[in-house]
Structures are given as structure tokens and as C-alpha cells.
Amino acid sequence: MELNSAVYLLIAIAATIIGAVPFGLVNLSMVNVALKNDSHGAVQIAHGASVVEVIFALAALLTGAKLSPVLEGNPVVRYFVFAVLLGSGLFFWFKKNREKTKPDNRKSSGFFKGIILNLVSIQVLLFWLLAATVLSAKQLIPSVFSEMLFFVAGVWLAKMAVLWAYAFLAKKVVSHAQKISSHINRIIGVVLMVVAVVQLFKI
């Protein structure tokens, strides 16, 4: 393995963690699914979200200069983000909490759910556009196939790790707090609505 490739792997991991740690639709959905003991669903959501994360990262690296002004300065995009966050928050607020769910025989349902949740999270793409700008300024953009391959691997690994960390920590916390467990959907709903309001003030 070339030294340069290893560097790009680490750069991708660091950038992805910074962008993936803040609360978002995928993170909170992972928490929700994990608390229902649906390990298979959590795995599928994480894989689906990671695929989109890679696509966003590549799009930002390859066409960031063209996409950035269109998305960052467009109020329609910001209103869309607000609407998605608010709608998701209301959905979780009114959704009945259940301790366990019946196994889903549709193996791909969680995968597509992860894809959709990350696709509508426009703020993730906006983050990658900003990250691409910073990396470009510091001349840290992958320039050959091997470097890009390791960068993509870093994005995938870091996204999966963050999502599983959310699921693991949520189960640890809630296992010691029955009151939180019984109101987890409303807690998720409130978090999403607060993020939506913050987004509205940025418009």
C-alpha cells in the first residue's frame, strides 16, 4: 500500500466523522431501529446510507465547483431541508413507540430506507461540498484511481462506524433508563424539529 493512499484513507475517515456525527435523519433512524432490537434492519440502513455518503463525497470532489454555488445559495434547497426535518420530526412525535418490531422479510427494505434518508439529507451534500473546497485549497484531493479508491473506502468505513456507534450508545443509555425508552420516538421528534428551526433561521 502506498503511503499517499493511506493518507487519503485517513483524510476521508476524518472528514466523514466530522460530517456524520451531528444529529441527522439517518443517525436518529439508526437509534430508533436499534432500540427495537432490529439488528438486520440497522445493518441494511447503515449500508444504504453509506452508499449515498460515498456518492455525495465523489460528487463533491468531482463537480463541487459547479454544484456549490447552485446549492449553497439556493433558498429552495434550504426550505426543502427545513421541510424534511420538520416533517420527520412530526412523524416521530406522533409515531407510537414499540419495544420490538416484527422481522421484516423484505431484506432490501432497510437498505433502500437508508438510501432515501441520506438522499433527502441535503445538508450532508452541503457538508461534502465544503469539505471538498477545503481539501482542494490544501491540495488534498485524490488525483489517481488508487488514491480515490482509498478515499472511498475511508468514507464507507467511517460512515458505518458512526452509525453503529449511535446504535450501540443508544442501546446502552436506554437500557438504564426505562422512561427514556418509552418516549424515544418523541425525543427523536423533538430533536429533529429543533434542528429544523435552526435550519429555518439560516435561510
Give me the pLDDT at residue 186, please: 72
Give me the pLDDT at residue 182, please: 59
Give me the pLDDT at residue 160, please: 95
41-65 CB burial, b ≥16 within 10 A, e <16: bbbbbbbbbbbbbbbbbbbbbeebe
**In which residue ranges of the chain is pLDDT below 50?**
1, 99-101, 103-106
pLDDT tens digit sequence for 171-188: 777 665 555 555 666 766
Give me the pLDDT at residue 99, please: 47
Q: 183-188: long-range contacts at Cβ-Cβ below 8 A with a sequence spacing of 24 or more?
A: 183/97, 184/31, 184/32, 184/35, 184/97, 185/32, 185/92, 185/93, 185/95, 185/96, 185/97, 186/92, 186/93, 186/97, 188/28, 188/31, 188/32, 188/89, 188/92
Give me the pLDDT at residue 34, please: 78
* Spatial distance between the Cα atoms of 94 and 190, rounded to a whole number of angstroms: 11
Q: Which residues contact 31 (CB under 8 A, 6 or more apart)?
A: 166, 167, 170, 184, 188
pLDDT tens digit sequence for 47-88: 999 999 999 999 888 876 555 555 556 676 667 767 776 777
Give me the pLDDT at residue 35, please: 76
Give me the pLDDT at residue 181, please: 56
